[in-house]
Chains A and B, each alone.
Chain A
Amino acid sequence: MNDARVVLFFNNFYLYRMKASFDFEQPLVDLEEQLEKLKQVADKSKVNVSATIRELEEKLEHTRKEIYSNLNGWQKVQLSRHPGRPYTLDYISMLCDDFIELHGDRTVKDDKAIVGGLGSVGGQTVMFIGHQKGKNTKERQYRNFGMANPEGYRKALRLMKLAEKFNKPVVTFIDTPGAYPGLEAEERGQGEAIARNLLEMSVLKVPILCFIVGEGASGGALGIGIGDRVYMLEYTWYSVISPESCSSILWRTWDYKEKAAEVLKLTAEDMLSNKLIDGVIPEPLGGAHHDPQAMASAIRSKILSDLKILGRKAPAKLVQERIDKFCAMGVVNEPAS
């Protein structure tokens, strides 16, 4: 299925993203270099520069705070795709004392772009499901860049039904550039697979928590995104289309991706103020990849506190509230009758 050229295209795409720092992080890189040089000088000559070093460190800290608290939409999109960010299996291993991965949709095959299984968090058994991206070229190819085929969504549904049967809550991690737009995906009903998940998740009788931990692109994200609580990490995005594709459709060129990121209002902050998600989880300064453990522990406390509240609700009430929440989304004009 993976034509060599496709792989090459995506690899180049990822290599471009692989740059350790983004343009907007350049001042930090410069300061860090300066600091490094100064430290070397201090080691060699015995001149006392500790005051200057301290000053530089303070400046670095200050600049860092300033840069990361003033990111625009496109910059957050870039951060959400940082190759160093933790992915689903990283979070699972940081959160769980024990984890058993479960495979396959029982119909076609095991999709590697969506993973799932039973994990134990603070003594509580949880069904984890999430998109999985790869850390290097080979892994990325193996994971199909986090783009699931229909069998991925059907595996997710199978695991949710399993969780429902044994009354275990479901936690999903969303991080996908979209559902895979391939020939076989169409043959096996990509649309039907996602649609079925939307319907089944909205009436699943156990609590569902969803975390957007990277990219939340359209139906591919929503296909495992119907939850009682939906959270976005601070530097992630969630919308109906990626800024690049939006730009190419509306402006007929990729050059307006920054503008598209702006107008789509796809950041966690915007999504919360439009009441399309339930909360934003702050990330460590500079992004989740700067301190994965701290990120995981923030997610862990969210899971535990939410499950405590949701676990007390009767299944019928839980489902009704979930449906009501999604049905309230949308803005229309209606003349007063």
Chain B
Amino acid sequence: MSWFKRVKEGITTKTEEKKETPDGIWEKCPSCKKVLHLSEQLENQYVCVYCGYQLRIGSKEYFEILFDNNEFTELYPDLTSADPLNFEDTKKYTDRLAEGTRKTGLKDAIRSAHGRLHGHDLVIACMDFSFIGGSMGSVVGEKIARSIDYCIEHRIPFMIISKSGGARMMEAAFSLMQMAKTSAKLALLAEQKIPYISLLTDPTTGGVTASYAMLGDINIAEPGAMIGFAGPRVIKETIKKDLPKGFQSAEFVLEHGFLDFIVDRREMKEKLASFLRMMAS
């Protein structure tokens, strides 16, 4: 005999009495699997209150966290991707772009803005992973290039928040050349002695790692972020061995000498402010 017996058969709640949870209010932490309420996320700078996991967020949230009173002027917001190669794989590139915009409300995988961080002028170019995997195509390169020109003209420190799967395959060699373009512009920024902060967030890989993400006067990262050049699957297939635990994590990259420090999102604004203050005085 079972110790539990169902008294009523099936689901007895009437359809019209069914309660729905509105979308986007609750989210499960991908690390500890506990459920987080949106208000908790907002209060805690999108860091899990239980395990400290830094949730994946986009430019909207980063601007909100870093700019004073969430006030900023967006730079070059109207640039959109062209399709110079008429690229088509299983889908047309133009369809992928339209779908990306429909899903995210974004025009491409980066937004750049001029605002203030604890009173310090700062231009931040922030990548959005939700738009075609944060891939770097002509728009990403061009916005970064123009933002650097803007920083040189107004003598304002520059920051890039990287979050990308790498170069955008649908623009092939055009996207490859964005690596050259952004690196060349950063060389000009360096000549002007204007500080450039590179923040690497989860994930930063491929052509982005091999260009602007690794070229900061300081390179910093969020805890636990995956950072690397080649993808772990490719490396595993090449060397035919399992990869060590923590391979390509921010902590691993720091240990090998390619980051200046790792900063929790909840302390990021303070730490950036002290850096900017020290550079300015």
Contact = CB atoms under 8 A, between A and B. Distances in A.
Contact of B180 (A179, A200, A326): A326
Contact of B172 (A259, A265, A333): A265
B258 interface: yes
Interface in A148-202: 179-183, 185-192, 194-196, 198-200, 202
Given A179-B229, A186-B228, A250 B90 contact: yes
B84 to A, nearest CB: 4
B169 A246 contact: yes
A271 interface: yes
A247 to B, nearest CB: 9
B260 interface: no
Interface in A223-247: 223, 225-226, 238-241, 246
A198 B211 contact: yes
Interface in B148-194: 167, 169, 171-181, 183-188, 190-191
B223 interface: no
Interface residues of A, number: 60
Given A240-B169, A240-B175, A274-B174, A219 B188 contact: no
Contacts of A251: 89-90
B8 interface: no
A203 interface: yes
Contacts of B88: 263
Given A199-B183, A202-B183, A332-B79, A191 B241 contact: no
Given A199-B187, A333-B79, A191 B238 contact: no
A251 B88 CA distance: 11
A329 B173 CA distance: 10
B235 A183 contact: yes
Interface residues of B, number: 64
A99 B120 CA distance: 54
A323 interface: yes
A334 interface: yes
B214 A196 contact: yes
Nearest to B78: A335
Contacts of B80: 332-334
Given A219-B210, A226-B180, A183 B82 contact: no
B235 A195 contact: no
Contact of B81 (A186, A203, A332): A332
Nearest to A1: B239
Contacts of A322: 184
Most chain-B CB neighbours within 10 Å: which of A6, A276, A326?
A: A326
Given A195-B212, A329-B180, A329-B181, A183 B243 contact: yes
Interface in A245-280: 246, 249-251, 256, 259-260, 263-266, 271, 274, 276
A332 B139 contact: yes
Chain B at the A interface: mostly helix, strand, loop or mixed?
helix
B215 A240 contact: no
Interface in B97-149: 137-139, 141-142, 145
A23 interface: no
B235 A181 contact: yes
Most chain-B CB neighbours within 10 Å: which of A179, A180, A189, A259?
A: A189
B240 interface: yes
A102 to B, nearest CB: 25
Interface in B184-211: 184-188, 190-191, 206-207, 209-211
A314 interface: no
Interface in A318-335: 322-323, 326-327, 329-335
Contact of B173 (A188, A196, A226, A240): A240
Nearest to A221: B176
B101 to A, nearest CB: 12
B138 A182 contact: no
Contacts of B209: 191-192, 195
Given A195-B214, A219-B206, A240-B167, 11 more contacts: A181-B235, A186-B248, A192-B209, A192-B214, A198-B183, A239-B172, A276-B177, A322-B184, A330-B137, A332-B139, A335-B78
Interface of B: 78-82, 84-85, 87-90, 137-139, 141-142, 145, 167, 169, 171-181, 183-188, 190-191, 206-207, 209-215, 228-231, 234-235, 238-241, 243-244, 247-248, 256-258
8 contacts: A194-B211, A198-B179, A240-B175, A256-B89, A263-B88, A323-B187, A331-B174, A332-B79
Interface of A: 1, 3, 5-6, 179-183, 185-192, 194-196, 198-200, 202-203, 218-219, 222-223, 225-226, 238-241, 246, 249-251, 256, 259-260, 263-266, 271, 274, 276, 322-323, 326-327, 329-335
Cβ-closest 8 pairs across A and B:
A181-B230, A191-B209, A330-B138, A198-B183, A202-B184, A191-B229, A329-B177, A250-B89
